């Protein structure tokens, strides 16, 4: 649930419109230690949010 909220917050902060398939894609994450960090970097860059937003 954290990843969906984080991606939604960053997309809203950068005024990137989100649709339902994009939100569903951001829900999946790897089940390995620190795999969520990879997911939280890949999804925002895919939808157009700059990587610098994660800082």
**Which pLDDT does position 28 carry in this prediction?**
59
Q: Cα dist. 39→11, 45, 53 in Å? A: 15, 10, 14
State how far the Cα of 4 lies from the Cα of 8, in Å rounded to an integer.
6
- Residue pLDDT, tens place only, 2-53: 777 777 888 888 888 877 776 666 565 556 667 677 777 777 777 888 878 8
* pTM of the predicted model as reported, rounded to 2 decimal places: 0.61
**Which pLDDT does position 19 carry in this prediction?**
78
**Which pLDDT does position 30 carry in this prediction?**
56
Residue 4 contacts residue 22 (beta carbons within 8 Å): no
Cβ-based neighbour number of residue 34 at 10 Å: 7
- Burial class of residue 11 (count of CB atoms within 10 Å of its CB; 0-12, 13-18, 19+): buried
**Which pLDDT does position 23 carry in this prediction?**
67
């Amino acid at each position: 649930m954290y990843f969906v909220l984080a991606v939604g917050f960053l997309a809203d902060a950068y005024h990137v419109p989100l649709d339902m398939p994009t939100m569903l894609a951001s829900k999946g994450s790897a089940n390995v230690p620190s795999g969520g960090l990879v997911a939280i970097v890949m999804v925002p860059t895919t939808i157009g949010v700059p990587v610098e937003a994660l800082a």
